[in-house]
Structure 1
Amino acid sequence: MKKITVLLALSLGSLTAFAQNTKDTNGPVGLRSSTDYGTGTTDSRNTGFGIKGGFNLSDVYGDDKKNFTDGSNYKSFHAGIYGQYGFNNRLSIQPELLYSRQGFEGNSTKTTTTGTATSTSTVKERRLDYLQVPVLMVFNILDNVSIHAGPQVSLLTKVVEDGKERKIADDGGVYGYSYTSFDYGLAVGAEARVGPARVGARYNAGFANIIKDQNLATTGNKALSDIKNSNFQVYVGIGFTQ
């Protein structure tokens, strides 16, 4: 969690400096800043839609994270579309629809008993594919720099453990635990604009436990259920104003 906080702070500082350095080169037509519009009107550069995508650096947090050994970050990507409606030249709302490939790495042991024979296996890497819908309030702190925050809901569509796809729900007790198909949480970040282009950084924290219905007899005596999604994103996008 400390790594994510430092990354987000550095990204915000970099975005602010980048936007300030490019502010005077944008030109008057089609590349206007948010404050070039009249106050109190929706005729704002903050109204439009676009596409975006970028890099994910994901992990988990929670009391049971310590029970996964040799843990490390999972690196992948996200992509999607967004729409934005400006209430005025400073404040807007921005819903998004994203495909986000997340996950985490950390060893856990599974015990399987067949008759009198017992075998153990280790799961190292877990890939979790989500469809995410964040709904963000966006506030322009500078002409071309904004901060955003808001709730996010996510639907788990696919689980891959060590390169093999598995069922999200463990209906037959084969895996010893199920994955939670629905997640909810909070997204917060910052973004800079240069003309129609956007570059930003965001941190997403999930509030639902990723793993549920753990069978300790199958998965060993260490609880694995109290872990939640933690994801840092860096992205670029192209916007089309209305």
Structure 2
Amino acid sequence: MKKITLLLALALASLTTVAQEAGKIGPRSSSDYAGGSGGHDSRNTGFGVKGGFNLADVYGDNKKNYTNGENYKAFHAGVYGQYGFSDKFSVQPELLYSRQGFKGTSTYTNPGGTTTATVKERRLDYVQVPVLLVFNVLDNVSIHAGPQFSLLTKVTEDGKERKIANENNSYGYSYSSIDYGIAAGAEARVGPARVGARYTAGFADVIKDQQSLASTGNKALDNIKNSLFQVYVGVGFAR
């Protein structure tokens, strides 16, 4: 969490630098954006594409039961729409594919006590739908925050795909197919281009339905939640 906080601070500092440099070129009004016809529509209403870098991990009481943990580095990409209802405020829904996960060694014996497996890395592929309220601090700098809902589409453990659901109790645990949480960040725009940083905290347990702790001596692995830092670039098209 300390690493993520530091990265977020550095990203926000970079956004401030971009805004200052843009100011040297000249003040950016709403008409500078693609399709600029004046008014808040040309700045706050439109659609676009975006993508960037993911730095993922987990947090929670049972994270301590995973050893040799480190961040999982991946990517995200998708589209967004934006609707401005004043010159300061807009709402921005997004549809993103996000590859994330976490690294940390865990050992688990199945409920029958017949198979013991050690997993070092888990990859989690999500379709994410954040719905963000955007506030323009400056003409080319905004902050955003709002809920995010995610659908888990694929799970890979140490490079081997496994089923999300725990069918027939063969694994002794399963993965939550739905995640939900809150996202917040900041963004700078120069013309149609944008660059931003965001942090998302998940509220649902990544792993669920863990079984047979007493009989097999397994440690609890299920109280962990997604933690995600994103840096992205995008291109917007005003309506």
With the length of structure 2 as denominator, give the TM-score of the two structures. 0.91
How much does 1:234 deviate? 0.3
Aligned residues: 235
Counterpart of 1:190 in structure 2 is 186
Secondary structure of the 2:204 match is coil
Over 2 Å off, 4+ runs = 23-33, 110-114, 117-121, 216-221
Give the conservation status (yes or no) of the 8 Å contact 1:37–1:89: no
Secondary structure of the 2:102 match is strand
Deviations 1:35-59 (Å, cap 9, x if unpaired)?
x954xxx534111000000000000
Give the conservation status (yes or no) of the 8 Å contact 1:46–1:85: yes
Counterpart of 2:225 in structure 1 is 228
1:143 equivalent to 2:139? Answer: yes
Counterpart of 1:210 in structure 2 is 206
Deviations 1:198-237 (Å, cap 9, x if unpaired)?
1000001000001111023487421011000000000000
Q: Which runs of 5+ in 1 are unaligned?
A: none
| Higher deviation after alignment, 105-114 or 118-127 | 105-114
The CA distance in 2 between the partners of 1:159 and 1:215, in whole Å, is 19
Name the aligned partner's letter for residue 9 of structure 2: A
The CA distance in 2 between the partners of 1:45 and 1:172, in whole Å, is 53
Give the conservation status (yes or no) of the 8 Å contact 1:44–1:88: no
Percent identity between matched residues is 70
How much does 1:32 deviate? 4.7
Matches within 5 A, 1:150-169: 150-169=146-165
After superposition, the CA RMSD in angstroms is 2.2
Change (3 A) 1:28 1:63: closer
Name the aligned partner's letter for residue 228 of structure 1: K
Deviations 1:22-76 (Å, cap 9, x if unpaired)?
234367795259xx954xxx53411100000000000000000000011010000
The CA distance in 1 between the partners of 2:216 and 2:74, in whole Å, is 27
Q: Which runs of 5+ in 2 are unaligned?
A: none
Give the conservation status (yes or no) of the 8 Å contact 1:109–1:219: no
Counterpart of 1:31 in structure 2 is 32
The CA distance in 2 between the partners of 1:99 and 1:174, in whole Å, is 29
Change (3 A) 1:82 1:219: farther
Secondary structure of the 2:32 match is coil
Counterpart of 1:20 in structure 2 is 20
The CA distance in 2 between the partners of 1:219 and 1:198, in whole Å, is 52
The CA distance in 2 between the partners of 1:3 and 1:196, in whole Å, is 31
How much does 1:113 deviate? 8.3
The CA distance in 2 between the partners of 1:173 and 1:156, in whole Å, is 19
Matches within 5 A, 1:122-137: 122-137=118-133
